[in-house]
Amino acid sequence: MSGGEGPTIAPGPIEPASTRAGPADLAARALVLSALGRMTDGAIIVREGSKRHLCGHPAPGEPIPEVTVRSPRVWRAVAGEGGAGVGRAYFSGFFDTDSLDELTRVLRIVTRNLDSIDRARRLATRLPGAKRRRRRGRGEAATGGGEGRGEHDDVRAHYDLSNELFAAFLDETMTYSCACFDSPGASLAEAQRAKLERICRLLELSPADHVLEIGTGWGSFALHAAGRHGCRVTTTTVSRAQQELASRRVKEAGLEDLVTVLDTDYRELTGSYDKVVSIEMIEALDWREQPAFFASCAGLLAEGGAMALQAIVIDDALREAANQSEDFIRRYIFPGSSLPSVSSIVAESAAAGLRLTSLQDIGAHYGETLRRWRAAFAAAEDEVEALGFDRAFRRLFSFYLCYCEAGFEERRISDVQCLLTRRGWRPRALALSR
Protein backbone atom coordinates (compact mmCIF):
# COMPACT_ATOMS: atom_id res chain seq x y z
CA MET A 1 0.00 0.00 0.00
CA SER A 2 1.41 3.33 -0.98
CA GLY A 3 1.55 6.26 1.38
CA GLY A 4 -1.67 8.20 1.75
CA GLU A 5 -3.88 5.29 0.64
CA GLY A 6 -6.16 4.27 3.49
CA PRO A 7 -6.46 0.70 4.77
CA THR A 8 -9.44 -1.41 3.74
CA ILE A 9 -10.21 -2.40 7.35
CA ALA A 10 -9.87 -0.03 10.31
CA PRO A 11 -11.98 0.80 13.33
CA GLY A 12 -12.67 4.31 12.11
CA PRO A 13 -12.42 7.57 14.06
CA ILE A 14 -12.29 7.59 17.83
CA GLU A 15 -15.79 7.98 19.19
CA PRO A 16 -16.51 11.24 20.99
CA ALA A 17 -16.40 10.78 24.73
CA SER A 18 -19.56 11.37 26.69
CA THR A 19 -19.24 12.98 30.13
CA ARG A 20 -22.72 12.08 31.37
CA ALA A 21 -23.43 8.59 32.64
CA GLY A 22 -26.88 7.15 32.06
CA PRO A 23 -28.62 4.52 34.21
CA ALA A 24 -27.21 1.64 32.18
CA ASP A 25 -23.69 3.08 32.48
CA LEU A 26 -24.02 3.34 36.24
CA ALA A 27 -25.36 -0.20 36.56
CA ALA A 28 -22.52 -1.56 34.41
CA ARG A 29 -20.02 0.49 36.40
CA ALA A 30 -21.15 -1.11 39.64
CA LEU A 31 -20.83 -4.59 38.13
CA VAL A 32 -17.36 -4.05 36.68
CA LEU A 33 -15.94 -2.41 39.79
CA SER A 34 -17.44 -5.18 41.90
CA ALA A 35 -15.83 -7.84 39.71
CA LEU A 36 -12.47 -6.07 39.71
CA GLY A 37 -12.72 -5.73 43.48
CA ARG A 38 -13.00 -9.51 43.78
CA MET A 39 -9.66 -10.09 42.06
CA THR A 40 -7.41 -12.09 44.35
CA ASP A 41 -4.16 -12.06 42.40
CA GLY A 42 -3.01 -8.49 41.85
CA ALA A 43 -4.71 -5.11 41.83
CA ILE A 44 -5.29 -2.13 39.56
CA ILE A 45 -6.22 1.48 40.29
CA VAL A 46 -9.11 2.97 38.34
CA ARG A 47 -9.16 6.78 38.21
CA GLU A 48 -12.47 8.39 37.35
CA GLY A 49 -12.40 12.14 37.65
CA SER A 50 -11.50 12.90 41.24
CA LYS A 51 -12.32 9.34 42.35
CA ARG A 52 -9.69 6.66 42.79
CA HIS A 53 -10.73 3.01 43.09
CA LEU A 54 -8.27 0.37 44.30
CA CYS A 55 -9.53 -2.89 42.81
CA GLY A 56 -8.26 -6.30 43.85
CA HIS A 57 -5.55 -7.40 46.24
CA PRO A 58 -2.05 -5.97 45.63
CA ALA A 59 0.63 -8.61 45.18
CA PRO A 60 3.71 -8.06 47.37
CA GLY A 61 6.37 -6.16 45.46
CA GLU A 62 4.26 -5.80 42.30
CA PRO A 63 3.56 -2.24 41.07
CA ILE A 64 -0.12 -1.36 40.89
CA PRO A 65 -0.95 -0.15 37.37
CA GLU A 66 -3.48 2.61 36.80
CA VAL A 67 -6.33 3.10 34.35
CA THR A 68 -7.90 6.50 33.68
CA VAL A 69 -11.55 6.55 32.60
CA ARG A 70 -12.20 9.08 29.83
CA SER A 71 -15.86 8.22 29.18
CA PRO A 72 -18.57 6.38 31.15
CA ARG A 73 -19.21 4.38 27.98
CA VAL A 74 -16.30 2.18 29.05
CA TRP A 75 -18.46 0.42 31.64
CA ARG A 76 -21.06 -1.03 29.30
CA ALA A 77 -18.40 -1.98 26.77
CA VAL A 78 -16.47 -4.00 29.38
CA ALA A 79 -19.51 -5.45 31.17
CA GLY A 80 -21.37 -6.43 28.03
CA GLU A 81 -18.61 -7.52 25.66
CA GLY A 82 -15.77 -8.88 27.77
CA GLY A 83 -12.31 -8.81 26.15
CA ALA A 84 -13.70 -7.48 22.88
CA GLY A 85 -15.31 -4.64 24.81
CA VAL A 86 -12.09 -3.79 26.64
CA GLY A 87 -10.33 -3.55 23.29
CA ARG A 88 -13.10 -1.43 21.75
CA ALA A 89 -13.12 0.85 24.77
CA TYR A 90 -9.37 1.36 24.43
CA PHE A 91 -9.21 2.12 20.71
CA SER A 92 -12.33 4.31 21.08
CA GLY A 93 -10.59 6.37 23.76
CA PHE A 94 -12.98 5.47 26.60
CA PHE A 95 -10.02 4.73 28.89
CA ASP A 96 -6.29 5.20 28.85
CA THR A 97 -3.05 4.33 30.61
CA ASP A 98 0.18 6.30 30.95
CA SER A 99 2.05 3.93 28.63
CA LEU A 100 1.77 0.68 26.73
CA ASP A 101 3.87 -0.97 29.44
CA GLU A 102 1.20 0.11 31.92
CA LEU A 103 -1.57 -1.18 29.65
CA THR A 104 0.19 -4.56 29.44
CA ARG A 105 0.47 -4.73 33.24
CA VAL A 106 -3.26 -4.04 33.55
CA LEU A 107 -4.07 -6.75 31.02
CA ARG A 108 -1.80 -9.25 32.76
CA ILE A 109 -3.60 -8.76 36.07
CA VAL A 110 -7.01 -8.99 34.40
CA THR A 111 -5.89 -12.16 32.60
CA ARG A 112 -5.05 -13.80 35.92
CA ASN A 113 -8.53 -13.01 37.21
CA LEU A 114 -10.69 -13.67 34.17
CA ASP A 115 -13.30 -15.64 36.08
CA SER A 116 -14.41 -12.44 37.83
CA ILE A 117 -14.58 -10.54 34.57
CA ASP A 118 -16.59 -13.30 32.93
CA ARG A 119 -19.06 -13.29 35.82
CA ALA A 120 -19.50 -9.55 35.38
CA ARG A 121 -20.22 -10.03 31.70
CA ARG A 122 -22.84 -12.68 32.37
CA LEU A 123 -24.56 -10.42 34.86
CA ALA A 124 -24.42 -7.54 32.40
CA THR A 125 -26.68 -9.40 29.99
CA ARG A 126 -29.47 -8.88 32.52
CA LEU A 127 -29.10 -5.11 32.57
CA PRO A 128 -32.31 -3.34 31.50
CA GLY A 129 -31.60 -1.23 28.46
CA ALA A 130 -28.06 -2.49 28.09
CA LYS A 131 -26.84 -2.00 24.56
CA ARG A 132 -26.00 -5.30 22.86
CA ARG A 133 -23.58 -5.67 20.00
CA ARG A 134 -24.62 -8.26 17.47
CA ARG A 135 -22.33 -11.26 17.50
CA ARG A 136 -20.57 -11.29 14.19
CA GLY A 137 -20.74 -14.35 12.04
CA ARG A 138 -17.62 -16.19 11.01
CA GLY A 139 -15.49 -14.13 8.69
CA GLU A 140 -17.04 -10.72 9.34
CA ALA A 141 -14.45 -8.08 10.07
CA ALA A 142 -14.65 -5.29 12.58
CA THR A 143 -15.87 -2.62 10.18
CA GLY A 144 -16.51 -4.60 7.05
CA GLY A 145 -17.95 -7.99 6.38
CA GLY A 146 -21.26 -8.87 4.94
CA GLU A 147 -22.46 -11.78 2.90
CA GLY A 148 -20.03 -13.99 1.08
CA ARG A 149 -17.01 -13.51 3.31
CA GLY A 150 -15.06 -16.70 3.81
CA GLU A 151 -11.81 -18.09 5.10
CA HIS A 152 -9.66 -16.40 2.43
CA ASP A 153 -11.24 -13.05 3.27
CA ASP A 154 -10.53 -13.72 6.95
CA VAL A 155 -6.83 -14.13 6.20
CA ARG A 156 -6.68 -11.15 3.87
CA ALA A 157 -8.49 -8.96 6.40
CA HIS A 158 -5.28 -8.96 8.41
CA TYR A 159 -2.35 -9.80 6.14
CA ASP A 160 -3.42 -7.69 3.16
CA LEU A 161 -3.69 -4.51 5.24
CA SER A 162 -0.30 -3.34 3.95
CA ASN A 163 3.13 -4.89 3.50
CA GLU A 164 4.54 -1.55 4.60
CA LEU A 165 2.55 -1.67 7.84
CA PHE A 166 4.14 -4.96 8.86
CA ALA A 167 7.58 -3.89 7.66
CA ALA A 168 7.32 -0.92 10.03
CA PHE A 169 7.51 -3.10 13.14
CA LEU A 170 8.84 -6.51 12.10
CA ASP A 171 12.58 -7.13 11.86
CA GLU A 172 14.53 -7.47 8.62
CA THR A 173 13.55 -11.14 8.23
CA MET A 174 9.84 -10.14 8.06
CA THR A 175 8.93 -13.03 10.36
CA TYR A 176 5.51 -12.71 12.06
CA SER A 177 5.65 -15.56 14.57
CA CYS A 178 7.31 -16.38 17.88
CA ALA A 179 11.09 -15.88 17.93
CA CYS A 180 13.51 -17.91 20.07
CA PHE A 181 15.89 -15.87 22.18
CA ASP A 182 18.46 -18.61 22.65
CA SER A 183 21.37 -16.22 23.24
CA PRO A 184 21.48 -13.41 25.83
CA GLY A 185 21.28 -10.04 24.12
CA ALA A 186 20.07 -11.47 20.81
CA SER A 187 18.43 -9.05 18.44
CA LEU A 188 14.93 -9.83 17.19
CA ALA A 189 16.32 -10.77 13.76
CA GLU A 190 18.84 -13.13 15.37
CA ALA A 191 16.09 -14.68 17.50
CA GLN A 192 13.88 -15.18 14.45
CA ARG A 193 16.68 -16.86 12.53
CA ALA A 194 17.30 -19.07 15.57
CA LYS A 195 13.62 -20.11 15.47
CA LEU A 196 13.79 -20.86 11.75
CA GLU A 197 16.96 -22.88 12.25
CA ARG A 198 15.28 -24.89 15.03
CA ILE A 199 12.60 -25.92 12.56
CA CYS A 200 15.17 -26.82 9.91
CA ARG A 201 17.07 -28.97 12.41
CA LEU A 202 13.85 -30.56 13.60
CA LEU A 203 13.20 -31.70 10.03
CA GLU A 204 16.89 -32.53 9.35
CA LEU A 205 16.68 -30.60 6.08
CA SER A 206 19.17 -31.35 3.31
CA PRO A 207 19.53 -30.58 -0.42
CA ALA A 208 17.73 -33.87 -1.10
CA ASP A 209 14.47 -32.58 0.39
CA HIS A 210 11.53 -30.99 -1.35
CA VAL A 211 9.65 -29.04 1.33
CA LEU A 212 6.09 -27.78 1.23
CA GLU A 213 5.34 -24.76 3.40
CA ILE A 214 1.69 -23.95 4.11
CA GLY A 215 1.47 -20.29 5.05
CA THR A 216 4.28 -18.33 3.37
CA GLY A 217 4.18 -15.21 5.46
CA TRP A 218 6.62 -12.90 3.71
CA GLY A 219 8.96 -15.75 2.83
CA SER A 220 11.33 -15.92 5.79
CA PHE A 221 11.26 -19.70 6.25
CA ALA A 222 11.54 -20.46 2.53
CA LEU A 223 14.49 -18.08 2.17
CA HIS A 224 16.22 -19.50 5.25
CA ALA A 225 15.67 -23.16 4.40
CA ALA A 226 16.72 -22.85 0.77
CA GLY A 227 19.59 -20.43 1.45
CA ARG A 228 21.05 -22.28 4.44
CA HIS A 229 20.19 -25.90 3.70
CA GLY A 230 19.93 -26.03 -0.09
CA CYS A 231 16.52 -27.74 -0.17
CA ARG A 232 13.76 -27.01 -2.64
CA VAL A 233 10.78 -25.19 -1.12
CA THR A 234 7.29 -24.82 -2.49
CA THR A 235 5.43 -22.32 -0.33
CA THR A 236 1.83 -21.17 -0.59
CA THR A 237 -0.33 -18.36 0.78
CA VAL A 238 -3.80 -16.99 0.06
CA SER A 239 -2.63 -13.44 0.83
CA ARG A 240 -1.93 -11.57 -2.40
CA ALA A 241 0.18 -8.99 -0.60
CA GLN A 242 2.36 -11.66 0.99
CA GLN A 243 2.72 -13.61 -2.25
CA GLU A 244 3.86 -10.50 -4.09
CA LEU A 245 6.49 -9.49 -1.54
CA ALA A 246 7.73 -13.04 -0.89
CA SER A 247 8.22 -13.59 -4.63
CA ARG A 248 10.20 -10.37 -4.88
CA ARG A 249 12.40 -11.33 -1.92
CA VAL A 250 13.10 -14.74 -3.44
CA LYS A 251 14.18 -13.10 -6.69
CA GLU A 252 16.39 -10.58 -4.88
CA ALA A 253 18.06 -13.45 -2.98
CA GLY A 254 18.78 -15.31 -6.20
CA LEU A 255 16.85 -18.38 -5.04
CA GLU A 256 14.31 -18.65 -7.86
CA ASP A 257 15.69 -22.07 -8.83
CA LEU A 258 14.95 -23.43 -5.33
CA VAL A 259 11.86 -21.55 -4.11
CA THR A 260 8.41 -21.43 -5.71
CA VAL A 261 5.81 -19.09 -4.19
CA LEU A 262 2.20 -20.02 -4.91
CA ASP A 263 -1.07 -18.21 -4.22
CA THR A 264 -3.03 -21.43 -3.85
CA ASP A 265 -5.26 -22.79 -1.10
CA TYR A 266 -3.46 -25.72 0.53
CA ARG A 267 -6.53 -27.91 -0.11
CA GLU A 268 -6.01 -27.50 -3.84
CA LEU A 269 -2.37 -28.66 -3.80
CA THR A 270 -1.33 -31.97 -5.28
CA GLY A 271 1.87 -33.97 -5.31
CA SER A 272 4.13 -35.55 -2.73
CA TYR A 273 6.69 -33.79 -0.54
CA ASP A 274 9.49 -35.05 1.68
CA LYS A 275 8.74 -32.52 4.41
CA VAL A 276 5.85 -30.18 5.28
CA VAL A 277 6.12 -27.01 7.36
CA SER A 278 3.39 -24.79 8.79
CA ILE A 279 4.31 -21.94 11.13
CA GLU A 280 1.41 -20.39 13.08
CA MET A 281 -1.03 -20.86 10.22
CA ILE A 282 -3.42 -23.40 11.74
CA GLU A 283 -4.85 -20.73 14.07
CA ALA A 284 -6.40 -18.99 11.07
CA LEU A 285 -8.74 -21.95 10.61
CA ASP A 286 -12.05 -22.49 12.34
CA TRP A 287 -11.71 -25.31 14.89
CA ARG A 288 -14.06 -27.50 12.83
CA GLU A 289 -11.68 -27.27 9.86
CA GLN A 290 -8.51 -28.21 11.70
CA PRO A 291 -8.95 -32.01 11.37
CA ALA A 292 -9.23 -31.59 7.59
CA PHE A 293 -6.03 -29.52 7.65
CA PHE A 294 -4.09 -32.42 9.14
CA ALA A 295 -5.66 -34.80 6.62
CA SER A 296 -4.52 -32.55 3.76
CA CYS A 297 -1.00 -32.32 5.18
CA ALA A 298 -0.76 -36.09 5.59
CA GLY A 299 -1.98 -36.60 2.03
CA LEU A 300 0.77 -34.34 0.67
CA LEU A 301 3.51 -35.96 2.74
CA ALA A 302 5.53 -38.83 1.30
CA GLU A 303 5.82 -42.14 3.10
CA GLY A 304 8.48 -41.74 5.77
CA GLY A 305 8.11 -37.97 5.65
CA ALA A 306 7.88 -35.47 8.50
CA MET A 307 5.94 -32.30 9.25
CA ALA A 308 7.01 -29.41 11.47
CA LEU A 309 4.09 -27.54 12.98
CA GLN A 310 4.45 -24.38 15.04
CA ALA A 311 1.14 -23.45 16.65
CA ILE A 312 -0.28 -21.12 19.26
CA VAL A 313 -2.20 -23.34 21.68
CA ILE A 314 -4.74 -23.00 24.45
CA ASP A 315 -5.51 -25.33 27.32
CA ASP A 316 -8.21 -27.95 26.73
CA ALA A 317 -10.27 -26.60 29.62
CA LEU A 318 -10.47 -23.21 27.90
CA ARG A 319 -10.68 -24.25 24.25
CA GLU A 320 -14.37 -25.13 24.02
CA ALA A 321 -15.49 -21.87 25.63
CA ALA A 322 -13.08 -19.89 23.45
CA ASN A 323 -14.46 -21.55 20.31
CA GLN A 324 -17.99 -20.56 21.25
CA SER A 325 -17.23 -16.96 22.13
CA GLU A 326 -16.07 -13.87 20.30
CA ASP A 327 -13.13 -12.27 22.02
CA PHE A 328 -11.14 -9.23 20.98
CA ILE A 329 -8.87 -11.20 18.62
CA ARG A 330 -11.68 -12.94 16.76
CA ARG A 331 -13.72 -9.75 16.38
CA TYR A 332 -11.08 -7.22 15.45
CA ILE A 333 -7.82 -8.94 14.43
CA PHE A 334 -8.23 -12.49 13.12
CA PRO A 335 -11.89 -13.13 12.20
CA GLY A 336 -12.67 -16.81 11.85
CA SER A 337 -9.63 -17.91 13.86
CA SER A 338 -9.45 -20.64 16.51
CA LEU A 339 -6.65 -21.92 18.74
CA PRO A 340 -5.93 -25.66 18.90
CA SER A 341 -4.81 -27.41 22.06
CA VAL A 342 -1.92 -29.84 22.34
CA SER A 343 -4.33 -32.72 22.79
CA SER A 344 -6.39 -31.67 19.75
CA ILE A 345 -3.20 -31.55 17.67
CA VAL A 346 -2.25 -35.04 18.85
CA ALA A 347 -5.71 -36.51 18.27
CA GLU A 348 -6.45 -34.84 14.93
CA SER A 349 -3.02 -35.51 13.45
CA ALA A 350 -3.20 -39.14 14.61
CA ALA A 351 -6.58 -39.53 12.90
CA ALA A 352 -4.87 -38.34 9.70
CA GLY A 353 -2.09 -40.93 10.05
CA LEU A 354 0.56 -38.71 11.64
CA ARG A 355 2.35 -39.42 14.89
CA LEU A 356 3.60 -36.80 17.33
CA THR A 357 7.32 -37.56 17.58
CA SER A 358 8.49 -34.52 19.52
CA LEU A 359 7.07 -31.35 21.02
CA GLN A 360 8.75 -28.30 22.51
CA ASP A 361 6.95 -25.43 24.23
CA ILE A 362 8.49 -22.10 23.17
CA GLY A 363 5.73 -19.90 24.61
CA ALA A 364 8.09 -18.30 27.12
CA HIS A 365 9.77 -16.55 24.16
CA TYR A 366 6.57 -14.98 22.84
CA GLY A 367 6.24 -12.27 25.48
CA GLU A 368 9.64 -10.87 24.53
CA THR A 369 8.82 -11.18 20.82
CA LEU A 370 5.66 -9.14 21.34
CA ARG A 371 7.45 -6.55 23.48
CA ARG A 372 9.89 -5.99 20.62
CA TRP A 373 7.05 -5.67 18.12
CA ARG A 374 5.04 -3.17 20.15
CA ALA A 375 8.11 -1.05 20.86
CA ALA A 376 8.90 -0.97 17.14
CA PHE A 377 5.26 -0.23 16.28
CA ALA A 378 5.18 2.68 18.74
CA ALA A 379 8.45 4.04 17.33
CA ALA A 380 7.01 3.88 13.81
CA GLU A 381 3.77 5.71 14.65
CA ASP A 382 4.44 8.58 12.24
CA GLU A 383 5.31 6.14 9.47
CA VAL A 384 2.15 4.12 10.10
CA GLU A 385 0.05 7.30 10.12
CA ALA A 386 1.60 8.31 6.79
CA LEU A 387 0.42 4.99 5.34
CA GLY A 388 -3.16 6.10 6.02
CA PHE A 389 -3.89 4.29 9.30
CA ASP A 390 -5.80 6.55 11.67
CA ARG A 391 -5.32 7.01 15.41
CA ALA A 392 -8.07 4.55 16.32
CA PHE A 393 -6.44 1.86 14.18
CA ARG A 394 -3.04 2.53 15.74
CA ARG A 395 -4.57 2.22 19.22
CA LEU A 396 -6.33 -0.99 18.17
CA PHE A 397 -3.09 -2.52 16.90
CA SER A 398 -1.17 -1.46 20.00
CA PHE A 399 -3.85 -2.98 22.21
CA TYR A 400 -3.64 -6.21 20.19
CA LEU A 401 0.10 -6.52 20.81
CA CYS A 402 -0.30 -5.76 24.54
CA TYR A 403 -3.27 -8.14 24.84
CA CYS A 404 -1.32 -11.02 23.28
CA GLU A 405 1.77 -10.27 25.37
CA ALA A 406 -0.34 -10.47 28.54
CA GLY A 407 -1.83 -13.79 27.44
CA PHE A 408 1.57 -15.38 26.84
CA GLU A 409 3.21 -13.94 29.93
CA GLU A 410 0.40 -15.23 32.12
CA ARG A 411 0.49 -18.61 30.29
CA ARG A 412 -3.14 -18.31 29.25
CA ILE A 413 -1.88 -19.36 25.83
CA SER A 414 1.41 -20.77 24.63
CA ASP A 415 3.32 -21.74 21.49
CA VAL A 416 4.66 -25.16 20.53
CA GLN A 417 6.89 -26.67 17.86
CA CYS A 418 5.82 -30.21 16.95
CA LEU A 419 7.36 -32.89 14.77
CA LEU A 420 4.64 -35.04 13.20
CA THR A 421 5.80 -38.05 11.21
CA ARG A 422 4.37 -40.57 8.78
CA ARG A 423 4.88 -44.29 8.98
CA GLY A 424 8.40 -45.24 8.00
CA TRP A 425 10.03 -42.04 9.22
CA ARG A 426 13.52 -42.51 10.67
CA PRO A 427 15.82 -39.78 11.99
CA ARG A 428 18.94 -39.38 9.87
CA ALA A 429 21.17 -38.48 12.78
CA LEU A 430 20.38 -39.71 16.28
CA ALA A 431 23.03 -39.25 18.96
CA LEU A 432 22.55 -41.68 21.82
CA SER A 433 24.79 -41.91 24.86
CA ARG A 434 25.55 -45.52 25.70
CATH number, domain of 42, equals: 3.30.1050
Evaluate whether residue 8 is within a structural domain: no
Closest CA to 38 of 126, 109, 105, 124: 109
Number of domains making up the chain: 2
| Confidence class for position 372, pLDDT limits 50, 70, 90 | very high
168 and 316 in a single domain? The answer is yes
CA torsion angle 385 17 325 53 (round to 10): 110
Evaluate whether residue 341 is within a structural domain: yes
Evaluate whether residue 107 is within a structural domain: yes
Average pLDDT of the chain is 87
Picking from 97, 124, 151, the residue at the C-terminal end of a domain is: 124
207 and 346 in a single domain? The answer is yes
Which residue type sits at 123?
L
Evaluate whether residue 15 is within a structural domain: no
CATH of the domain at 205: 3.40.50.150
Evaluate whether residue 355 is within a structural domain: yes
**With 70 as the cut, is the pLDDT of residue 4 above it?**
no
115 and 163 in a single domain? The answer is no
d(CA 18, CA 11): 19
217 and 310 in a single domain? The answer is yes
393 alpha carbon, distance to own chain's centre = 17
What is the mean predicted confidence (pLDDT) over 302-328?
Answer: 92
389 and 336 in a single domain? The answer is yes
What is the mean predicted confidence (pLDDT) over 186-200?
Answer: 98
Residues 6+ positions from 153 with CB-CB distance below 8 Å: 139, 141
Q: Is the dihedral of CA 93, 97, 98, 100 positive or negative?
A: negative
| Confidence class for position 324, pLDDT limits 50, 70, 90 | confident
228 and 335 in a single domain? The answer is yes
Check residue 23 and give its pLDDT.
87
d(CA 111, CA 403): 9
Q: Which one is predicted more confidently, 74 or 62?
A: 74
Evaluate whether residue 142 is within a structural domain: no
Evaluate whether residue 152 is within a structural domain: no
What is the mean predicted confidence (pLDDT) over 278-291?
Answer: 96
Closest CA to 314 of 347, 344, 348: 344
Residues 6+ positions from 21 with CB-CB distance below 8 Å: 29, 72, 75
Domain range enclosing 389 = 159-421
What is the mean predicted confidence (pLDDT) over 229-238?
Answer: 97
What is the mean predicted confidence (pLDDT) over 7-31?
Answer: 70
Check residue 127 and give its pLDDT.
53
Check residue 217 and give its pLDDT.
96
In 72-221 the beta strands, taken as DSSP E runs, fall at 95-96, 210-214
Picking from 124, 143, 175, the residue at the C-terminal end of a domain is: 124
What is the mean predicted confidence (pLDDT) over 336-354?
Answer: 96
Closest CA to 216 of 239, 200, 195: 239
Output the pTM of the full model. 0.88
Check residue 80 and give its pLDDT.
87
Evaluate whether residue 129 is within a structural domain: no
DSSP 218: T
> Rounded to whole angstroms, what are the CA distances from 391 to 15, 77, 394, 432?
11, 20, 5, 56
